[in-house]
Chain A
Amino acid sequence: MPELMTVTQFNDKVLAVISSSREIRNVTMVAEISSITRATSGHYYLDLKDSQSNIRCTFFRYAASKLIFDPKPGMKVLVFGGASFYPKGGSLSFNIEWMKPYGKGEASAALEELTARLLKEGLFDAERKRALPVYPRAIGVVTSPSGAVIKDIIDTVAKRFPSGIILAAAKVQGEGAPESLVAGIELLNSQEDVDVIIVGRGGGSAEDLSAFNSETVVRAIASSKVPVVSAVGHATDKSLSDRVADAYAETPTMAAVMCTRDIDDIRRGLSFMTGKIARSLTSIVKDMRSRFAYPNARLDPRNAAVTLERYGAKLDLLSERGASSVSGRLRFMSSRYEVLNAKLDPKRAAEKVEGYWVALDSVSEEMDDSVVRRLADNSRELEHRSQMLAGLDPWRVLDRGYSFVTDEAGRTVTSVSGLRAGSKMTVTMRDGFVKAEVEEVTEHGRREE
């Protein structure tokens, strides 16, 4: 008589067989969700199927907490787990340890759904993209502290604009990665000097971009106060982070380049601008110089001195009523002119000014504002003195209606003493002179100017 088995005994044997069977443990399976319910305990109970068969599945809370999408009936999924037998009820099920959307690359149903939703919300719109700063005070980087990403960014920035780099270390894949990335983005947003953020993946499996496709990360990037550059580094298939970011870089190095400008270019730009300033200034001074040239030529102090000398000599020989005031004035002016003339030394001043102009012309090379300032002071002084001198020109006095008198020997006549009726004299006026003869002499004392 064959040995009788109890149901319990049978089920225990089944459990033993199942538990020891490698073929039905640690299985990756592709399936479609036919139904799914989530218990208040957090466990999922679902049915997976293909075109012919169906299997009941359990997905316990601890495993389900790692889900990066919201599983729904009709979705194709990739599950990993194994057979699990429940002896008391004699039921076989598949216990899921992880579940991912299954599809062509990242274009899984879940991702498609999220993409469509965010697209509709306008999160990927070109109008949302902000310009990156060219000279950021600090560049925030959200990435792994140990990958090549941070190294590449540090090395690249070091060769370019001296921005600071502030790392918010984050987990870029696996459990907790989305939360960690979001925390990093938010933390860097709280830093006053961070003008741009690079979110980089770096290291790890080339496949696992899931964190960068998670809604929380996408939304954190979208709501960042400062522009975000995504350097997730997956040329063939952009992640949602790449699409929502203000700029997308294929490599961390490229991201760093996008956030900075080459220091030599900056230096050249600065030199160019200071050169422009110097040229503008030079042309302003040149303009001033040509304005100055007119009174300068008119004045020509050497000529003026000669003129003065000549008429001064004539004046000494002449005397006529009324002439004294003119001549006294002329003498006075003459002496003042001499003083000024000596002080001014036009030749030396002109040389000096020429020297300044030469200096100014070289200003575009290396500018020295004190030279320019001295030049300006000097030019102003020269202009002022020229005007003063022009005012002292004896011919100006004649213009005003005065004339001066010289005797036959050509000496200026400043007094009536020594003149008598019949004395010959020459009276010089603005536009010529007259030979004259004294008719009568009246002396009425000295008249002060």
Chain B
Amino acid sequence: MEEERNEKNIEDMTFEESLRALEELVEELEAGGLDLDESLEIYEKAIKLRDHCRKILEESERKVQRLMESASGTERVDFTPDR
């Protein structure tokens, strides 16, 4: 059940969440007592998590924005400091 939920949400996970999930899988694998199928399943999930982490690291834009209050509420605009 939980597995399913995680599987579905890897893409939506924050870096910290996926890293924590990855650490748990490593512990699970290291604890041993798993058969090959279970191990492979965990392995597959771990690779997905690792790839997600890498994606966040490599692809996420380092957005720098400034909050501006307007009549319609608060909005974000790109911000570049004066150099």
Residue numbers in A under 8 Å from B67 (CB-CB): 166-169, 187-188, 191
| Bound form: Cα–Cα A166–B77 in Å | 9
How near does chain B come to A15, taking the closest CB pair, in angstroms?
48
Cβ of A300 < 8 Å from any Cβ of B? Answer: no
Select A277's contact among B29, B64, B82, beta carbons within 8 Å.
B29
Known: A273-B26, A274-B46, A277-B25. A284 touches B63 (CB 8 A): no
| Bound form: Cα–Cα A270–B57 in Å | 11
Known: A273-B23, A276-B30, A288-B36. A166 touches B43 (CB 8 A): no
Residue numbers in B under 8 Å from A166 (CB-CB): 65-67, 76
Residue numbers in A under 8 Å from B32 (CB-CB): 280, 284
How near does chain B come to A258, taking the closest CB pair, in angstroms?
16
Shortest Cβ distance from B77 into A: residue: A167
A145 and B81 form a contact (CB under 8 A)? yes
A372 and B40 form a contact (CB under 8 A)? yes
Majority secondary structure, A binding face: helix
A146 and B43 form a contact (CB under 8 A)? no
B66 and A167 form a contact (CB under 8 A)? yes
Known: A165-B64, A191-B67. A369 touches B44 (CB 8 A): yes
B60 and A162 form a contact (CB under 8 A)? yes
| Bound form: Cα–Cα A269–B16 in Å | 13
Shortest Cβ distance from A166 into B: residue: B65
- The A114-169 residues at the B interface (CB cut-off 8 A) are 133-135, 137-138, 145-146, 150-151, 154, 157-158, 161-169
B79 and A145 form a contact (CB under 8 A)? yes
Cβ of B6 < 8 Å from any Cβ of A? Answer: no
A151 and B81 form a contact (CB under 8 A)? yes
How near does chain A come to B4, taking the closest CB pair, in angstroms?
19
Residue of B29, B43, B63 ringed by the most chain A CB atoms within 10 A:
B43
How near does chain B come to A159, taking the closest CB pair, in angstroms?
10
Shortest Cβ distance from B62 into A: residue: A162
Known: A280-B30, A281-B43. A270 touches B66 (CB 8 A): no
A369 and B56 form a contact (CB under 8 A)? no
Total cross-chain contacts (CB, 8 A): 114
Per-residue CB contact flags for chain A residues 271-313 toward chain B (1 = under 8 Å, else 0) read 0011011001100110010000000000000000000000000
Cβ of A21 < 8 Å from any Cβ of B? Answer: no
Per-residue CB contact flags for chain A residues 89-103 toward chain B (1 = under 8 Å, else 0) read 000000000000000
Residue numbers in A under 8 Å from B44 (CB-CB): 369
Per-residue CB contact flags for chain A residues 177-189 toward chain B (1 = under 8 Å, else 0) read 0000000000110
Residue of B40, B47, B50, B64 ringed by the most chain A CB atoms within 10 A:
B64
B65 and A167 form a contact (CB under 8 A)? yes
| Bound form: Cα–Cα A285–B35 in Å | 9
- The B16-49 residues at the A interface (CB cut-off 8 A) are 16, 19, 22-23, 25-26, 29-30, 32, 34, 36-37, 39-40, 42-44, 46-47
Which 8 A/B pairs are nearest by Cβ-Cβ distance? A280-B29, A135-B15, A135-B16, A164-B63, A167-B66, A165-B64, A151-B81, A162-B60
Residues of B at the A interface (CB closer than 8 Å) are 14-16, 19, 22-23, 25-26, 29-30, 32, 34, 36-37, 39-40, 42-44, 46-47, 50, 53-54, 56-57, 60-67, 69, 74, 76, 79, 81-83
**Known A133-B16, A164-B61, A167-B79; further 12 A-B contacts with Cβ < 8 A:** A146-B81, A158-B62, A167-B64, A187-B69, A190-B74, A267-B57, A276-B29, A280-B26, A284-B39, A288-B36, A372-B40, A376-B37
**Can you report 13 A-B residue pairs in the complex whose CB atoms are below 8 A from each other?**
A135-B14, A164-B61, A166-B66, A188-B67, A191-B67, A266-B53, A270-B53, A273-B46, A276-B29, A280-B26, A280-B30, A280-B39, A281-B40
